[in-house]
């Protein structure tokens, strides 16, 4: 029997184990009819690796993969996936941003009752302000009628339009009827009760609050009881007093808190 070195043309594979190649080729006598065969036994290390397969691998190999690869299962899985994906995109605009406050608290926390009360009785968002550009004479009846919402104002005034918009909160996002400083100012000027809201000191001419201890030396700012009779000077000169007057039980129209 002769032996020769291996060349690229001498690579031979075995049907029993295609991953093994002989290191040399042999020639035997023609009288030897038994062909040369390589061993098909699994090495101990490979057998050990096959035995290390876990439970999850076994389930996927024997049950899950064969079931998913069936002809009628594959299109069903694809259909369900794309249907779920389309529904997720369609419902995306309805997802609320942020985390519910009560989720972050323990179930027995006293803050749960507080958050529940806010959600039930104070279901409004932040305040919204509508600002008018400067250059308007607010004491002009034609201009004020387009802004105010009290009696005598235009039905198409800004304040009335906002009031109509509050009737459709789901569309306009305005939850409540708004107020205007112009309406509050006119009510503050015209207030007539046991103690008028706007009063001036007889001697100094300074503003007298309704919380002042003595009322003997104070007199009403104006004798006008309607918007039509308030002069331009009264409107301009008394406005700073309105903006610094704090509302109280006797006069709730003070503009310091709201305006």
pLDDT higher at 226 or 160: 160
- The whole-angstrom separation of Cα 179 and Cα 149 is 8
Q: Give the residue-averaged pLDDT of 166-182.
A: 87
| Residue 126: C-alpha distances to residues 99, 129, 173, 257 (Å) | 18, 10, 11, 16
pLDDT at 49: 52
**What is the pLDDT, as a whole number, of residue 77?**
92
At 86, the pLDDT band (50, 70, 90 cuts) reads very high
* 36 against 108, higher pLDDT: 108
Mean pLDDT over each residue of the chain, to the nearest integer = 78
- Of 34-38, 66-70, 147-151, least confident by mean pLDDT is 34-38
pLDDT digits 0-9 by tens, 100-138 = 777 878 888 888 888 887 777 776 677 888 888 888 888
pLDDT at 16: 46
Return the SS3 of 66. Answer: helix
How many angstroms separate the CA atoms of 182 and 175, rounded? 21
Lowest mean per-residue pLDDT among 118-122, 197-201, 237-241, 242-246? 118-122
DSSP conformational letter for 213:
S
Residue 157: other Cβ atoms inside 10 A: 19
The mean per-residue pLDDT over the stretch 28-52 comes to 52
Q: Tokens representing 187?
A: 């009510």
Which pair of tokens denotes residue 243? 């903006």
| Separation of alpha carbons 165 and 149, rounded Å | 14
Question: 215-252 burial string, b = 16+ CB within 10 Å, else e?
Answer: eeebebbbebeebeebeeebbeebbebbeebebeeebe
Please report which confidence band the pLDDT of residue 243 belongs to, taking 50, 70 and 90 as the band edges.
Answer: very high
């Amino acid at each position: 029997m002769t032996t020769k070195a291996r060349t690229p043309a001498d690579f031979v594979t075995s049907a029993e184990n295609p991953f093994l190649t002989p290191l040399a080729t042999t020639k035997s006598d023609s009288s030897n009819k038994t062909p040369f065969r390589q061993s098909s036994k699994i090495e101990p290390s490979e057998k050990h690796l096959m035995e290390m397969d876990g439970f999850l691998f076994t389930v996927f190999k024997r049950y899950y993969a064969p079931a998913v690869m069936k002809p009628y299962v594959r299109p069903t899985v694809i259909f369900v996936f794309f249907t779920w994906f389309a529904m997720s995109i369609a419902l995306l605009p309805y997802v609320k941003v942020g985390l519910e406050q009560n989720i972050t608290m323990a179930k027995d926390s006293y803050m749960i009752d507080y958050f529940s009360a806010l959600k039930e009785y104070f279901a409004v968002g932040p305040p919204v302000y509508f600002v008018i550009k400067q250059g308007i004479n607010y004491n002009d009846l034609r201009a004020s009628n387009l802004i105010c919402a009290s009696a005598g104002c235009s039905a198409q005034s800004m304040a009335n339009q906002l009031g109509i918009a509050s009737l459709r909160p789901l569309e306009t996002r305005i939850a409540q009827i708004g107020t205007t400083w112009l309406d509050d100012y006119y009510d503050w000027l015209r207030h007539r009760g046991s103690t008028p809201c706007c009063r001036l000191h007889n001697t100094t001419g300074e503003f007298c609050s309704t919380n002042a201890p003595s009322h003997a030396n104070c007199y009403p700012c104006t004798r006008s009881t309607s918007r039509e009779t308030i002069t331009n000077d009264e409107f301009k000169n008394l406005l700073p007093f309105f903006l610094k007057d704090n509302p109280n039980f006797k006069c709730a129209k003070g503009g310091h808190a709201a305006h």
